[in-house]
Amino acid sequence: KNEVEQSPQNLTAQEGEFITINCSYSVGISALHWLQQHPGGGIVSLFMLSSGKKKHGRLIATINIQEKHSSLHITASHPRDSAVYICAAGGADGLTFGKGTHLIIQP
Amino acid sequence: DAGITQSPRHKVTETGTPVTLRCHQTENHRYMYWYRQDPGHGLRLIHYSYGVKDTDKGEVSDGYSVSRSKTEDFLLTLESATSSQTSVYFCAISEVSSGGADTQYFGPGTRLTVL
């Protein structure tokens, strides 16, 4: 059974700061997913990656397969980035999720 | 947005009653999943399906059954609901690539309360 750990659990930052959320997993996987959940509950997939680095706008996700570690970075953070960010590991047989990072960006 | 709907969106029921939640997709994706989300536990896999009539158990499958008679519909049944099954239930769909995994798209969720 894969174990997925995220840190930090809670993060409050000022607008414009560079944000990093970390994720580690215990067992080799097909892919690592980063998800975003806003208050009100909807879950949106941000990235799925199995190697290297992906970038979408101000969001960057990296993964180190050998170290079983991934990071999600937010550059030039904005209050609209406030949400819960969840990493998840797995493949076609379903995902194992971290408990999420609750991010608040203050103006 | 991927075409996924869940019904009902909210339900309150009593302990011991049967409950069925429906997930419907218009994307023709092969894989469908049911997850539950609880404070302190995060999201956990209940059951998943890899095709019509093909299903398998997840991490927290006790007390739940599923059925998939058509590609577009995946049903989750609580045969006799208990208070521990009070949760928010999310359906997800995926079209697995040759690499073994693909993006999962989530439905809007169903909030179930068992009194």
pLDDT by residue (tens digit) across B1-27? 569 999 999 999 999 999 999 999 999
| Percent of the residues in chain A that have a pLDDT greater than 70, as a whole number | 100
- Give the residue from chain B lying closest to A100, CA to CA: B42
Using an 8 Å CB-CB cutoff, list chain A residues near B41: 99
Question: Pairing between strand A10-14 and B10-13?
Answer: unpaired
- CA dihedral of residues B97, B100, B105, B110 (deg, nearest 10): 140
**Confidence band of A59 (pLDDT split at 50, 70, 90):** very high
pLDDT, position B13: 97
Q: Report chain A's mean pLDDT, rounded to a whole number.
A: 94
Residue A28 has pLDDT above 70, yes or no: yes
Residues of chain B with pLDDT under 70: 1-2, 98-101
Secondary structure in 3-state letters for B62-100: CCEEEEEEECCEEEEEECCCCHHHCEEEEEEEECCCCCC
Residue A92 has pLDDT above 90, yes or no: no
Pairwise CB contact (< 8 Å): B42 & A41? no
Of the candidates A103, A42, A98, A32, the one whose C-alpha atom is nearest the C-alpha of residue A74 is A103
pLDDT, position A14: 98
Structure tokens, A76: 């030039």
pLDDT, position A101: 97
Of the candidates A50, A44, A107, the one whose C-alpha atom is nearest the C-alpha of residue A79 is A107
Nearest CA to CA, how far is A1 from chain B (Å)? 9
pLDDT, position A1: 74
pLDDT, position B40: 86
Task: Give the mean model confidence (pLDDT) for residues A34-54.
Answer: 92
- Give the residue from chain B lying closest to A2, CA to CA: B59
**Confidence band of A2 (pLDDT split at 50, 70, 90):** confident
- Give the residue from chain A lying closest to B47, CA to CA: A94
Please tell me if residue A27 touches chain B, with a CB cutoff of 8 Å: no
- CA dihedral of residues B11, B13, B15, B19 (deg, nearest 10): -60
Which of A2, A4, A32, A45 to probe by mutation at the B interface, max B CB count within 10 Å?
A45
Q: Where are the beta strands (DSSP E) in chain A?
A: 4-7, 10-14, 19-25, 31-37, 43-49, 52-56, 59-64, 69-74, 83-91, 94-97, 101-106
Contact call for residues B49 and B32 (beta carbons, < 8 A): yes
Compute the distance between CA of residue B25 and CA of residue A78 in angstroms, rounded to an integer: 33
pLDDT, position A88: 96
